[in-house]
Structure 1
């Protein structure tokens, strides 16, 4: 699993936190859309996926807390910058 990062994803619509192992070579936009689709299938009564979904750093993510991630950036680039590490808390917004 060296080419993936484990993210803790908060779904504000439900208040639930899920873990996703995200490949380095996808963009933030692609990762967010895929996570939204999975969560919409798990929480169909409370959450509906859209193409306008973003990822935001949250819950103790340090200096970057509350910052939306650039949808065009790759996960690999964010890991390389130290913004994403295993266990980084993000919110699907």
Structure 2
């Protein structure tokens, strides 16, 4: 399997000070990944929380009954994983 680069940041939650609070990995995959891949990456980070943010295409956003989007802001899908489970 070929290596895939994924943009990510490790952030400190629940604090205003660096290196305090809860660390979380925030990943920005550019293509869909299966659950096993997502879980494997979370296990590799081995910190309490890893999240995946995937931008939702406008064609997938259905805010109103007629299917048109009423928001001008981008929308994202968010999934959280621990090192052992989603």
Normalising by structure 1, what TM-score?
Answer: 0.30
User: Which structure has the larger Rg?
Assistant: 2
Normalising by structure 2, what TM-score?
Answer: 0.31
Which one has more relative contact order, counting CA pairs under 8 Å at least 6 apart? 1
